[in-house]
Chain A
Amino acid sequence: MKKLKYALFTGCTAKQSTPEQYMSTYAVAEKLGIELVELVEASCCGASHLQDYDDFLSLVLNARNIAYAEKHGLTMVTICNTCQLNTAMTKHRLDNEHGLKEKVNAKLKEIGLEYKGTSNIIHFLYAIIDDIGLDKIKEMVVTPLSQFNIAPFYGCHNIRPSELQNESHKKAENPYNPTSLDDLIVACGGVSVDYKEKNKCCGFHVELQAPRTASILTGNAIAGAMDGNADWMVTPCPLCHLKLDTQTHHASVAIGREVKLPVLHMQQMLGLALGCSHEQLGLKHHLTKVDFL
């Protein structure tokens, strides 16, 4: 089999507040035999906020990021749900809205780049499922996570709007009944916990302007997982991770109940099953202690 090679768009969070996600991405890629070419030229995607202020600037900056992946002739892999949404949305609009690509390319020309529309943009979770496959992962597991009830937390920007999201990967995901992360848990040998908040919002994007709303959503999510008898949670999104891992105090106060569970990045869970060391996976960088191992 040809070695898998992707252009990696790390996003900002992996370079700052979730260093464990950055480390575990590389640790898992090595185990899976994936070569990652990091897009060190990439800028922030605007995180769904910049376009509230300046839509065109947001498009141009995202188009520049994609243009770098295209220059390498590689599929762009994202490791943040919001990066995935903003980048894929930009691609969709440039490919479909009349005249937009030309307008954006006129700007990119100033810096010697061009958006062509040749690179697919896919979240790491779906890249693994599509290109490696769950059966193959199952075979590669050396430490099955069989003693754990694991609650998947999908994160909005990987499943909605489904019409856009399902353009990027082969496996069609139903946003009301998503299965990909559950499937990955099972492939790692774990037991996936079904609870009604698993495809709901964590509140991250209003943490500053509407802290009460954000905290209640975070609290509900952790409470749902706890009531489902989960030992820990897992998410493909570093922004959800930040909410669920670092905001437990505010969340507990907001919903009037002590809520707390270790939350792993999808890469960390996979890494544990594939036999990566705790150091490689950066487990010490969590605020809610990873105490189940």
Chain B
Amino acid sequence: MLRIRLWQVIVVVLVCAAAALFAVPNLFSQNSLGNSYPDWLPSQQVNLGLDLQGGSHLLLEVEVAKVMEERIDAMVDDARTALRGEKIGYTGLKRRGEMVVLQLTKLNFLEKARKLLEDLDREAIVVSSDDGAFQVTLSEAAVAERKNSALSQSIEIIRRRIDETGVSEPTIQRQGDDRILVQLPGLQDPERLKRLLGKTAKMTFHLVDQSVSDTDVARGRLPPGTMRLPSDDEIDEAGNPRYYPIRKRIMVSGDSLVDSQPTFQDNQAVVSFRFDASGAKKFGRVTQENVGRPFAIVLDGRVISAPVIREAILGGSGIISGTFNTQSARDLALLLRAGALPAPMTILEERTVGPDLGADSVEAGKIACLIGLVAVIVFMLLYYGLFGIVADIALVLNLIIIFGLLSILQATLTLPGIAGIVLTIGMAVDANVLIYERIREELKSGRSPFSAMEAGYKRAFTTILDSNLTTLIAAVILYIFGSGPVQGFAVTLGIGIVTSMFTAMLVSRFILVWWLKRYRPKTLPL
């Protein structure tokens, strides 16, 4: 333990120097780093978590099951058409969970029906029994693929929506099978963004069923193929929304939109839109055939407006007027531009920290760190004298290495992470305390300084290893099971444990051994 090789010293010095090099940029402001700091030096700073720099953390859940439901619903419709086309009698055709079920009324078309149902989807799995009951499901792979693509598509749409709002450096991450984690550093007020993210923004154009009287609409007595949809903004005296009878058939879908902008018409905020070539053709045909009839613009199951078509719109562009204000027109245009989400989405968790609180926390953390450091340094000095100074050097180096590592790894420093560092300041001296107390004991049992040092280091080593490993286990588990800020705590704690072992076992030992060999004291000032 007292034998120190030159390469060991070199390695330790290099490690410390490298750590210092990476830690130093944290002392400067971002600004001065950009201007006057030498280019050739590393200038990365510790990555601050959202709780320290301010920003918004949103955990979204995509209802991927809805995608399947829609697909199965479509298969139910297709099955109806196909069976009717072949004049095969059936009852009880419907969706049950993620499968299509039906019962043939006559058993002589079993094979034919099976063939038709298998043609519904390439991945369809048809199970039938001899009494004519059919179950159609999609293969597991197909279900997984659809859900997966729904999620990827959602991420893409979310990214577009966020980019459109001009938030800088968003992090959008997939989490598990149906979740998306969105982190928006610096965003102060996520209200608008949450509103934007919460909308599916599925826009469709339908014809209004004029054959239905208002009373029938109110009672919900509708012919097949017509549905009742609430108005987005029209409310009757009782506060209930007005309902429209809407033909289910989608005349033109919002998928064909290529652009959408907020604009003004007669001093009223409106949203303009433009279709792609095929959409424009469809739109032109529909408007041509239905001049003089009301045409409903439906967004997420609500009727935004149902204007009467005055003339055929052949240019492929049009205007949506409703009761918009500037902001809502801008939002709608943005949503239409970015595209519709494949499935509805909910915000499961939100954590937003304002920049004030973040800055306050950083400031408080700095002060706590410094005062904690000074307190421990003074205490160690008073308690161990010269040896205390060595432990203090190790402690300061320890902190430098922690910050260097945090900068190199670009780990995220959070508020609990700062707490972890402060805690490390307190606990880091433990390794040195163990060694010193051991040396003291060895001295008491009558050993010479040399032999006491040797024995102290040697015997304390296993204890240090054993005791620190237990804390390291706790840190690792925290990292695995924790989320966000807590992970930050685990990171600093874990790094702190490793670096404190490094500084105590190497740095402070080197210094003490050097001192011992240089001065050959008769007694140790412990």
Do chains A and B stick together as partners? no
